[in-house]
Each structure stands twice: as structure tokens, then as C-alpha cells.
Amino acid sequence: MPLIVLSVLLQIACCVHAVRSGRPHFWIYIIIIGSFLGVAVYVFAEVMPNLHRDPVARRMAQGVRQKIDPEHGKRRAARELDIADTLENRRRLAEQSMASGDYQQALELFRKSMSGMYATDPVLMLGVAKAQFALGLPGESRRTLEDLIAANPTYRSSEGHLLYARSVEASGDIEKALEEYAAVVQDFTGEEARVRYAQLLQRRGHADRANAVFAETVKRASLAPKYYQRDQKAWVEIAKRALQETA
């Protein structure tokens, strides 16, 4: 039974890859009819030769590796830093530390990198703010982001702006947070900012405004391409549930 399940899972994965990457349809028949052999032929003929330049295959491989060995990226970045203590290698390890949940190490690495001509580097300062927020320090995260803008007035980051809104909210400055959310949704790619804005409106008792924002999220997703719907599914589901609960 486990072999049958494994075969089906591999066939589904390969069929999905074939469709998303625009491979000829005959591959689907080969994969389905050939079972393990069909999967093996497809992988060796279509996936492996293009793995380095095929974004779909690369994401699949990275996803599998992340499931099997979630610390792989962090270990690799640590080895590279041991070989050469450079700014880029410290930044890479800091990002891998964030991804693996080691926020304290990420914070230390980002801070260590902020020296000399990089003392007010906006990317590094944003990394510090992310780590501070993840460590449950929204006040410090807010101050870091305010220092970032003061030192880099022309720097723009919708991700950073959303983090600022969340930091302000978590610091207890709700009216300011509502202002920041209202601003960030104007240029944020994705539905997270919009849903978080609606959730805060809802908590503050602005039910009609919250529902309007939730409805906008659902409408935007329904009109968007399939890849966008897949990427934003979690946030769209939150919006749908919120609308159902108030119906």
C-alpha cells in the first residue's frame, strides 16, 4: 500500500509540474500509464536537465529539500561564512536564520553587518526590524524602521511598510496603525496587508469598513490569475470566513 500511495503522489507532482511548466500533454499520459517508470523517465528527461533554470522545478526541489532537511540552507550559509566572513555571507546566514526561526542569531548577524559605510544600510536595518518583531519587540522594531526612514528618506519597501504598521499596532498605537495600514494597502503586492487592515478595523468596531475591505480582497482574488489565487489562498480564506461570520 505505501508504494501505491508514493506512486500516486509522485505522478500527481509530475503531472502538476508538466502542466504548470507547459510541457507537451503526452507527458501526462506517460506519467499516468508508466507509474514509477513514467515518473522516472519524465524526471530524467524533462526535470533534471532544466532544474537550474526552471523556476517551477526549482521550487518543487526546494520544497522537498525543506521538508526533508529544513536546516540545509542555514548550514550551507554557515559554512560559507566560515570560509569567508563577508557582508554578503553574513546577510545570507541572517536570512536563513530568520527562515529557520533563530531570530536572535539573525538579529546579531544583521547588527554585526551594520558598520562603516553600511551602518545605515536600509536592507540590513529592515532585517534588524524583522528580527526584533519576531522576537516580540515591536517597540524596538518600530524605532528601527523610523531610524531607517530618517537615514534613507528615498527608500521604499512595501514589506517594510507593512512591518511598520504591524509594529505600530503591536505597540498599542492603534489609530496610527490604522493610518499606516490604509497607506500600505495602496501599493502592497498581495492580500496580507489588506486582510490585516480589515482585521484591525473589525477589532475596533468598524464592521462595515472591515467587511468592505474583506470583500475587496475576495473580489481581487477572483479576478486574478490562478498563480495569484494559489499564493494568496490563506489570506483570501481568512477574508471569506470573516464575511461569512458577519453575514
Q: What is the pLDDT of residue 66?
A: 57
Same structural domain, 108 and 191: yes
Same domain, 142 and 225: yes
When the pLDDT of each residue in the chain is averaged and rounded to a whole number, the result is: 90
Domain with 211 in it: what CATH number?
Answer: 1.25.40.10
Judge if 183 and 128 occupy the same domain. yes
Determine what percent of the chain is predicted with pLDDT higher than 90: 68
Q: What is the pLDDT of residue 27?
A: 87
Q: Is the pLDDT of residue 52 over 80?
A: no
pTM to 2 decimal places:
0.74
Are residues 167 and 120 part of one domain?
yes
36, 147: one domain = no
Residue 53's pLDDT is 56
Same domain as 121, residue 63: no
Provide the pLDDT for residue 8: 85
Residues 119 and 227 in one domain: yes
- pLDDT band (50, 70, 90) for residue 49: low
Q: How high is the pLDDT of residue 91?
A: 95
pLDDT tens digits, one per residue of 70-121: 677 888 999 999 999 999 999 999 999 999 999 999 999 999 999 999 999 9
Q: Do both 147 and 217 map to the same domain?
A: yes
Concatenating the DSSP letter of every residue in the chain gives -HHHHHHHHHHHHHHHHHHHTT--THHHHHHHHHHHHHHHHHIIIIIGGGTTT-HHHHHHHHHHHHHH-TTHHHHHHHHHHHH---HHHHHHHHHHHHHHT-HHHHHHHHHHH--GGGTT-HHHHHHHHHHHHHTT-HHHHHHHHHHHHHH-TT---HHHHHHHHHHHHHTT-HHHHHHHHHHHTTT-SSSHHHHHHHHHHHHTT-HHHHHHHHHHHHHHHHHS-HHHHHHTHHHHHHHHHHHHHT-
Read off the pLDDT of residues 181-211 as tens digits, 9 standing for 90 and up: 999 999 999 999 999 999 999 999 999 999 9
Residue 46 sits in which domain range? 2-68
Instruction: Let me know if residue 199 belongs to a domain.
Output: yes
Instruction: Mean pLDDT check: name the lowest of 43-57, 160-174, 176-190.
Output: 43-57
Same domain for 37 and 114, yes or no, is: no
Domain limit, last residue, from 68, 86, 113: 68
Supply the pLDDT for residue 28.
87
Q: Is residue 110 domain-shared with residue 167, that is, in the same domain?
A: yes
131 and 217 fall within a common domain: yes
Q: Are residues 38 and 140 in the same domain?
A: no
Confidence category of residue 46, pLDDT binned at 50, 70, 90: confident
